[in-house]
């Protein structure tokens, strides 16, 4: 899983980004070829609760909502519930931008659905499991559909200088 956070979605409309995305380097192509079932989503970040970086995350795919604002409000409420749990660091809702979420070269186009996702960062694996269950109950989602991952590293823009 690779999550890239930008100042705004406008970055994905820039000439520089489009050029880099459309002309992949040999390194990028080699790494994309190693991925199983790759998906690419460009999303707005909404309903942020908490702050900081966790060592584990739960990613919970949600049903596509006809009312994005209502889903964001439900995610805020889920974040409030999660904030009271041991090991919670932060949660945020990723809402895909249809126009910007063009597929990766090897991504399946058949049946492609741009689902919103709730991302929950925690301090450990047990906390991520518990947070996934809490969020799934709050958002009427299947906890088994969510991913549990240990974070390898997190790089911030200030560290690139």
Q: How far apart are CA 55 and CA 121, in angstroms?
A: 7
Domains of the chain, earliest start first = 9-154 (3.30.70.100)
Beta bridge partners of 60: 118
Position 37 scores a pLDDT of 85
Please list the alpha-helical segments (H only) found in 99-148.
125-138
Over residues 130-139, the pLDDT tens digits come to 999 999 999 9
Over residues 21-55, the pLDDT tens digits come to 888 889 888 888 888 888 899 999 999 999 999 99
Residues 6+ apart with CB under 8 A from 123: 54, 55, 56, 87, 88, 89
The pTM score is 0.90
């Amino acid at each position: 899983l690779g999550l890239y956070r930008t100042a705004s979605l406008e970055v994905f409309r820039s000439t520089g980004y489009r050029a880099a995305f459309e002309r992949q380097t040999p390194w990028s192509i080699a790494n994309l070829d190693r991925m199983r079932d790759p998906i690419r989503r460009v999303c707005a970040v909404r309903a942020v609760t908490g702050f900081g970086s966790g060592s584990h995350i739960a990613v919970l795919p949600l049903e596509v909502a006809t009312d994005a604002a209502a889903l964001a409000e439900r995610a805020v409420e889920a974040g409030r519930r999660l904030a009271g749990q041991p090991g919670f660091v932060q949660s945020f809702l990723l809402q895909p931008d249809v126009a910007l979420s063009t597929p990766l070269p090897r991504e399946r186009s058949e049946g492609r659905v741009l689902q919103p996702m709730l991302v929950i960062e925690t301090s450990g694996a047990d906390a991520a499991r518990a947070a996934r269950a809490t969020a799934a109950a709050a958002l009427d989602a299947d906890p088994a559909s969510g991913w549990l991952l240990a974070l390898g590293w997190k790089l911030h823009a200030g560290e690139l200088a």
